[in-house]
Amino acid sequence: MKEQLVVVGNGMAGMRAVEELLKLAPDKYAITVFGAEPHPNYNRILLSPVLTGEKQFGEILLNEDAWYAEHGITLYKGKTVVEIDRRKRVVKAADGTSAAYDRLLLATGSNPFILPVPGKDLPGVIGFRDFADVETMLMAAKQYRHAVVIGGGLLGLEAANGLMKQGMKVTVVHLPDALMERQLDAPAAKMLKKSLEDRGLEFVLQGVTQEIIGKNRVQGVRLKDGRELTADLVVMAVGIRPNIELAKKARLYCERGVVVSDTMQSYDPAIYAVGECVQHRGQTYGLVAPLFEQAKVCANHLAHFGISRYEGSITSTKLKVTGIDLFSAGNFSGGDETEEIVLQDAGAGMYKKVVLKDNRIQGAVMYGDTMDGAWYFQLMRDGTDVSNLRDKLLFGQAHLGDAGHGDIKSRVVAMADSTEICGCNGVCKGTIVKSIVDKKLFTLEEVRAHTKASSSCGSCTGLVENLLAATLGGDYSTAPKKKPMCPCTEHTHDEVRQAIRAQNLKTIPALFQALEWKTPDGCNKCRPALNFYLLVAWPGEYVDDNQSRFINERAHANIQKDGTYSVIPRIWGGETTPAELRALAEIAEKYEVPTVHITGGQRIDFLGVPKETLPAMWGDLSAAGFVSGHAYGKAIRTVKTCVGKNWCRFGTQDSTTMGIDLEKMAWGSWTPHKFKLAVSGCPRNCAEATIKDFGVVCVDSGYELHVGGNGGVKVRATDFLCAVKTPEEVKEYCAAFLQVYREEAHYLERTAPWVERVGLAYVKSRVVEDAAGRKALAERFLHSQQFAQIDPWAERAKGTDKHEFIPLKMVG
């Protein structure tokens, strides 16, 4: 027997809750939806392009009539619910239609606030809320000339722009002295106003509406200062108020909105509420991303899973207002206790401001170039100390040359549809935009799943986010307070790492049980991460779980596109001998290796080796004195060197020996992501140490230590850590840096994003300033190496994990 769920309201929040509920418990409820509007659910945010004529109404529908029918949902369009009988658990609409409920979901949205001035009820005075308003505006544009929009916020400007595109002469009346004062500071607001005036809009700032004049229809707007503006149409865009009339009538507890708990439940346990009608922890929301979060939580509880909480949303706003990119987050105004860094290029239509307090970002506002909005927002939420980034902060994430998408910067709107956005997967702009529209995608994750764009290396993520914002008018990715490790859990990486120590968890199954994993055996994202975290926490104790390793690490070689493997033996510090080279050549010939390639890490690579051949080849390599190069792993890779003082006339120290010693110390260690080192013999830096995770630049007085560099997809030069005098110090600092990286970074986080996330100041405090702590870290690293520095190739040549390399059976 199905329970009855009645939904009052057929808008975006309510229908998202129903969609989420159908994913979790499709057969639990017989669902009835009452919608006051005569339409199925549509994307209210896209009413703006419908007004300008860029889209047809049919294109912005989210759930068409067929969808309701398909899921057995009874949809009453154009029926307004006017009464809830909470005792009998029945709702009644204006036309008498009634429905009984076991659970009721209120999603009544909000109403536009109409100024209580004389004349407000004249025909031609409307809000900008629903399709009926848009139809009124389109009809007025055909017959009349003058429009006045009261309210210069986001919605008002969209209305004004739309009416102007439809041929009307529009004046915007705004009470404060600057436009969009909720999202923009004074300079950005000024740039916006100028830009819109250049297009033909007129503005009256600090304008107080006193009266709307007209006989049978609106004819004008009179301001307090006496001015009169001609108006055949007046659009009120001065704010929205939660629509709680029905809830209040039913004596449900309301303040500004229907008051709900973290489970979206009202004070009546049978009644839930989501969306703009809701007040949660004192907040009401008017942007879509928080409402989608609420919908997900509500569905969880309606489905009786009972494990989700809504804790409020921190929002950043990435908007496209009338074609102009805007971004705003946090406290963007600043004040006496804060400082501001500003980058402004009015000629290029660009303005960026970051507000700091104690070297931490409090807020940001951006006009024109919003590519780095997400980065500032992340730094803000993490409370990262940005003192070492200060001089480059406003120039963006300092990626000196992101590979894979040419010279594209932020002007996604101007790009041709055929422009390739994602270089890894070959996805062009047109494909992405079509997917967003046809499949009704809202978030970056959805675009990744449906188009593969931004799903491999991630360097085009900023572009894809901008495309989303451009297509939808805003950025709707949820910005959860904390990001879970993977879909199997609500816990973050840091929480899991802490729990492993605090609760003495020694195996993956024990962890799954203690932390209440949602799946019986995790997924391909969390199992490798957990395997690594346990290994770091319990060196020598934890038994590695082979089946939780990526194929490369399980097979100790790099899988290639045809299922053969690549074999790269370790060549210490990039220095070899004729005997070694001869041995390698003989082995390559013996096994008929198709391609021999010299790697960027100063090693030699055998490509095209069948899996069954690996143990035998490793046996020969082992006999010739070689060990695994770990070129396939989230592990210590290479230490590149230049020849240094031994040979070079410029060499200040023996960089080659330093490099070999570092490699001998560190090889075999598993790390959160691949870890590359280099030692250059002088500041000419021929070993390119300043794009390495740990780079040493020898100088006359000793050794400069550099950290957090990255060649590859996002090129990042290292941060200077400190200078030391002796090779022993170099090794100690290196071991300490490695160990704090291993113990604290998230799995699959290179040192570059890790250092940016925690701040260089933190890394210095652990590795440079705290001498005792540094020694302890270095000791822990060396201790872990006792269990890690075992050549996996030699083991497997002797028969370990035999089953990995041979087929179970040969047939025919």
Choosing from 519, 577, 646, 786, the residue that interacts with another protein (CB under 8 A) is: 519
Choosing from 87, 215, 649, 809, the residue that interacts with another protein (CB under 8 A) is: 809
Give backbone dihedrals phi and psi of 351, rounded to 5 degrees, phi first.
-150, 130
Q: Tell me which residue has tokens 């001609």.
A: 230
Choosing from 114, 413, 523, 648, the residue that interacts with another protein (CB under 8 A) is: 523
Structure tokens at 566: 């690549």
Q: Which is nearer to another protein, 353 or 549 (CB)?
A: 549
Q: Tell me which residue has tokens 């060549």.
A: 571
Stretch of 400-408, 459-467, 513-521, 631-639 contacting another protein, by CB under 8 A:
513-521
Choosing from 431, 548, 602, 685, the residue that interacts with another protein (CB under 8 A) is: 548
At its nearest, how many Å lie between another protein and the CB of residue 570? 24
Q: Which helix (H) or strand (E) holds 156?
A: helix 154-165
Q: Kindly state the number of chain residues that form the binding site for another protein, as judged by CB under 8 A.
A: 30
Q: Are 93 and 76 in contact (CB under 8 A)?
A: yes
Q: Which is nearer to another protein, 392 or 439 (CB)?
A: 439
Choosing from 56, 206, 546, 765, the residue that interacts with another protein (CB under 8 A) is: 546
Is residue 633 a contact point for another protein (CB under 8 A)?
Answer: no
DSSP category for residue 557: S
Question: Which amino acid, one-letter code, is at 354?
Answer: V
Is residue 528 a contact point for another protein (CB under 8 A)?
Answer: yes
Is residue 543 a contact point for another protein (CB under 8 A)?
Answer: no
Q: Which helix (H) or strand (E) holds 587?
A: helix 578-590
At its nearest, how many Å lie between another protein and the CB of residue 290? 26
Choosing from 58, 347, 520, 578, the residue that interacts with another protein (CB under 8 A) is: 520
User: SS3 letters for 479-509?
Assistant: CCCCCCCCCCCCCCHHHHHHHHHHCCCCCHH
Binding to another protein in span 437-466, by CB under 8 A = 449-450, 456
CA–CA gap between residue 164 and residue 750 (Å, rounded): 50
Is residue 431 a contact point for another protein (CB under 8 A)?
Answer: no
Find residue 352's DSSP bridge partners: 343, 366
CA–CA gap between residue 57 and residue 47 (Å, rounded): 8
Is residue 527 a contact point for another protein (CB under 8 A)?
Answer: yes
H helices present in 635-750, as ranges: 655-666, 727-744
At its nearest, how many Å lie between another protein and the CB of residue 548? 7
Query: DSSP for 272-336?
Result: EE-STTEEETTB---SHHHHHHHHHHHHHHHTT-----------EEEEEETTEEEEEEE--S--T
At its nearest, how many Å lie between another protein and the CB of residue 809? 5
Choosing from 547, 577, 646, 765, the residue that interacts with another protein (CB under 8 A) is: 547
Stretch of 162-170, 183-191, 543-551, 647-655 contacting another protein, by CB under 8 A:
543-551
Choosing from 58, 269, 401, 807, the residue that interacts with another protein (CB under 8 A) is: 807
Task: Give the end-to-end CA distance of the chain in Å, rounded to a whole number.
Answer: 55
CA–CA gap between residue 632 and residue 618 (Å, rounded): 15
Q: Which is nearer to another protein, 71 or 802 (CB)?
A: 802
Choosing from 73, 555, 571, 636, the residue that interacts with another protein (CB under 8 A) is: 555
Distances (CA, A) of 90 to 78, 100, 234, 274: 19, 4, 39, 19
CA–CA gap between residue 697 and residue 681 (Å, rounded): 6
Distances (CA, A) of 677 to 217, 597, 659, 704, 786: 76, 21, 8, 13, 21
Q: Which is nearer to another protein, 348 or 808 (CB)?
A: 808
At its nearest, how many Å lie between another protein and the CB of residue 268? 37
Choosing from 113, 131, 550, 762, the residue that interacts with another protein (CB under 8 A) is: 550
Is residue 341 a contact point for another protein (CB under 8 A)?
Answer: no
Stretch of 289-297, 544-552, 690-698, 750-758 contacting another protein, by CB under 8 A:
544-552
Helix (H, G, I), strand (E, B) or coil at 63: coil
Q: Are 535 and 783 in contact (CB under 8 A)?
A: no
Is residue 799 a contact point for another protein (CB under 8 A)?
Answer: no
At its nearest, how many Å lie between another protein and the CB of residue 304? 22
Distances (CA, A) of 469 to 30, 188, 364: 36, 19, 18
Q: Which is nearer to another protein, 187 or 484 (CB)?
A: 484
At its nearest, how many Å lie between another protein and the CB of residue 626? 24
Binding to another protein in span 557-576, by CB under 8 A = 559, 561, 563
Question: Which amino acid, one-letter code, is at 198?
Answer: D
Is residue 674 a contact point for another protein (CB under 8 A)?
Answer: no
Is residue 434 a contact point for another protein (CB under 8 A)?
Answer: no
The contact set with another protein (CB under 8 A) reads 449-450, 456, 519-524, 527-528, 546-552, 554-555, 559, 561, 563, 803, 807-812
